[in-house]
């Protein structure tokens, strides 16, 4: 693990501090994601349908905060905004440990997802401030690798709780996850005070722009929506997989964590390679198309696991994990490139906040959608329908990037390091 981490960490300074913060935060995520749906159904005692509805409502409420919090990051600096939302996430996670009713669950979920939506906007602005052009994509890919190192480490520990299947284990994991949000805020102390701010000390003020500029950028809106559909795959592994494996297959419960670990290891090994050249819009869009096909194949394999014997089910679930992760690698890489390259320089907080709406929308819709399709009365057809949705979104992404007109950048000079200014860089 330490050897992989050494290769994944970016250079010292701001990139390295961001990586440490990401690592601490995502260790908690690795504890939480494989166990959260089991906690809410087994410990809190909520039906799967109610958990799905509650998370959907919370996600929809959180969407209203993405662009406003992004604007706050542009105005006050993403470091400060990120620290605040981490503290809110810590408090909300601690409150989850005391939840025993649907109204309390819904209230905590709304606060947590709103803060999570804000953290996506602030983190995107921090990355944008740390480099230019291909450097941003490389840093974002490095942080994706670090994220999966943390997720993998957390998932290994979560496997103990899943196998024991006890209320105390699940509750302790939530409390540990809450502590990781505070731990993730500690490295932010050493970031420059004006990191990510426009017009800070010694810098000219950027021209004022509309707080709704991104809404007039049709191409960015379209790519955000399609990226959101592809990012449903994140909720497949966090929401659907634990309940599917435990309740609908003959595989051992530990396969939930095995799938998460396979996912994490593959991202650590291949995310940097998958992200090469995505500063080119066409390549980034093509990777999204490839992701849609891989996710279709993953869903088709999952549809075959419900009625198989134990050995066959384990093999199919491993194949599912590989295909799902390939889809994730290409979705993430394409999204890195498009989210930065199509955004004007002076409004990364606003644009990254809006781009996070794609993932936020998928988080909001996924629990109810996945519960109905993959965990309902006709799961085989549901898995295939989900795969078809992924394929359509992937096929449409190149069309949106090439044929939908985009808004003019708020700052006239083009960014250095884009494919139109410099030869394509490889890593």
DSSP state letters, 281-348 = HHHHHHHHHHHHHHHHHHHHHHTTSTTS-HHHHHHHHHHHHHHHHHHHHHHHHHHHHHHHHTS-GGGH
Tell me yes or no: is domain 12-196+211-403 CATH 1.25.40.10: no
Q: Does residue 206 surpass a pLDDT of 70?
A: no
CA distances from 314 to 128, 301, 321, 392 (A): 41, 12, 11, 29
What are the tens digits of pLDDT across the range 315-351? 999 999 999 999 999 999 999 889 888 877 667 677 8
Mean pLDDT throughout 4-28?
77
Q: What residues does each domain of the chain span? A: 12-196+211-403
What are the tens digits of pLDDT across the range 221-264? 999 999 999 999 988 988 889 889 988 888 888 898 889 889 87
Q: What distance lies between CA 372 and its chain's CA centroid?
A: 22
Please state whether 340 falls in left (phi above 0), alpha (psi between -120 and 50) or beta.
Answer: alpha
What are the tens digits of pLDDT across the range 26-45? 999 888 888 888 899 989 99
Q: Does residue 210 surpass a pLDDT of 70?
A: no
What are the tens digits of pLDDT across the range 373-387? 998 888 899 999 999
């Amino acid at each position: 693990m330490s050897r992989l981490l050494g290769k994944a960490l970016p250079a010292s300074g701001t990139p390295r501090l961001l990586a440490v913060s990401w690592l601490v935060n995502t260790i908690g995520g690795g504890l939480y994601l494989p166990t959260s749906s089991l906690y809410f159904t087994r410990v809190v005692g909520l039906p799967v349908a109610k958990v799905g509805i509650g998370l959907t409502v919370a996600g929809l409420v959180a969407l209203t905060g993405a662009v406003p919090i992004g604007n706050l990051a542009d105005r006050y600096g993403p470091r400060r905004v990120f620290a605040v939302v981490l503290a809110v996430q810590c408090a909300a996670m601690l409150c989850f440990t005391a939840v025993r009713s649907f109204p309390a669950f819904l209230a905590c979920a709304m606060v947590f997802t709103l803060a999570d939506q804000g953290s996506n906007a602030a983190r995107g602005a921090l990355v944008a401030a740390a480099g230019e052009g291909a450097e941003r994509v490389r840093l974002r890919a490095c942080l994706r690798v670090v994220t999966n190192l943390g997720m993998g480490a957390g998932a290994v520990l979560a496997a103990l709780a899943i196998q024991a299947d006890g209320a105390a284990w699940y509750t302790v994991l939530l409390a540990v996850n809450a502590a990781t949000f505070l731990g993730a805020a500690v490295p932010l102390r050493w970031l420059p005070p004006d990191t990510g701010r426009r017009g800070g000390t010694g810098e000219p003020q950027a021209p004022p722009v509309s707080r709704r500029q991104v809404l007039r950028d049709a191409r960015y809106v379209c790519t955000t929506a399609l990226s959101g559909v592809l990012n449903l795959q994140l909720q497949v592994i966090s929401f659907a997989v634990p309940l599917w494996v435990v309740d609908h297959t003959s595989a051992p419960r530990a396969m939930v964590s095995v799938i998460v670990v396979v996912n994490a290891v593959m991202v650590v090994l291949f995310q940097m390679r998958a992200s090469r050249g995505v500063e080119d819009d066409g390549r980034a869009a093509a990777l999204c198309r490839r992701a849609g096909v891989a996710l279709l194949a993953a869903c088709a394999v999952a549809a075959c696991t419900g009625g198989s014997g134990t050995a066959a089910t384990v093999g199919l679930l491993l194949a599912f994990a590989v295909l799902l992760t390939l889809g994730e690698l290409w979705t993430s890489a394409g999204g890195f490139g498009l989210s930065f390259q199509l955004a004007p320089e002076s409004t990364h907080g606003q644009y990254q906040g809006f781009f996070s709406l794609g993932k936020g929308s998928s988080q909001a819709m996924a629990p109810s959608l996945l519960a109905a399709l993959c965990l309902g009365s006709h799961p085989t057809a549901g898995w295939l329908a989900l795969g078809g949705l992924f394929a359509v979104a992937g096929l449409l992404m190149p069309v949106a990037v090439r044929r939908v007109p985009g808004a003019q950048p708020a700052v006239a000079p083009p960014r250095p390091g884009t494919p139109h200014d410099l030869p394509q860089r490889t890593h």
